[in-house]
Structure 1
């Protein structure tokens, strides 16, 4: 979960560094707590913004970070993009209009899957 966020942040950094001239950071904040909770954000002169926060949650006997974040930027054509995400014990959950949406499962396939579930084969009983 955390590794996906690190990879995404790294890829975003590579994309943002692909400009010819350095882009100034116009705002930046960071706060790290002793328990591992944190909050940081930045905004660059080109309008790119990113923020992330984490709180520590107890899941059973394990303490896990629960992350929330967002990023917004404009691509080379000037089109604005936004992505927000949550990463916790349920995994990485991004939300963005840029994420492709799969087509719906055709009704015939849904009915077939329901029939198969209602009529298990004798092989699956053993």
Structure 2
């Protein structure tokens, strides 16, 4: 019984700590295309979040193929800054690059 009460208080604390004034984000744009040679997709939401990505089939060796991926995502953080990450993922691993946009850019 004590564990149930403790869990209930923990859930209540989590609910109280969640931001109450945030509006839900809505999808403003969503597109995708998938084919045997690769794929691409992009989306944008009403809170300023966006992402786009392309994947292309690449011949690594005579017997091995892999998908090379490049893309980016952007979001508005609680600190008021907009974070943008561009990346490539291929046979050399995941290679992100971050850029921070100042307000008004």
> What is the TM-score normalised by the length of structure 1?
0.59
- Residue 3 of structure 2 corresponds to none
Structure 2: gaps spanning 5 or more residues: 1-17, 101-105
Q: Does 1:69 align with 2:71?
A: yes
Instruction: State the 1:55 CA deviation.
Output: 0.2
Give the superposition deviation at 1:21. 3.5
User: Is residue 45 of structure 2 the alignment partner of residue 44 of structure 1?
Assistant: yes
Q: Does 1:95 align with 2:75?
A: no
How far apart, CA to CA, are the structure 2 residues paired with 1:90 and 1:33?
A: 24
**C-alpha deviation, 1:41, in angstroms:** 0.4
Query: Which structure shows the higher helix fraction?
Result: 1
1:80 corresponding residue in structure 2 = 82
Alpha-carbon RMSD across the aligned residues, in angstroms, is 1.7
Offset of residue 46 of structure 1: 1.0
More strand by share: 2
Which runs of structure 1 show a deviation greater than 3 angstroms over 4 or more consecutive aligned residues?
A: 18-21
- With structure 2 as the length reference, what TM-score do the two structures score? 0.70
Shift of 1:67: 0.1
- Structure 1: gaps spanning 5 or more residues: 1-17, 99-126
Q: 1:95, CA displacement in angstroms?
A: 0.7
What is the rounded CA distance, in whole Å, between the counterparts of 2:24 and 2:48 in structure 1? 13
Query: Structure 1 CA distance, aligned partners of 2:31 and 2:54?
Result: 11
Aligned length: 80
**CA-to-aligned-CA distance 1:13-72 (integer Å, 9 cap, x gap):** xxxxx874420000010000033x000000000111101110000001211000001001
| Secondary structure class of the residue paired with 2:69 | strand
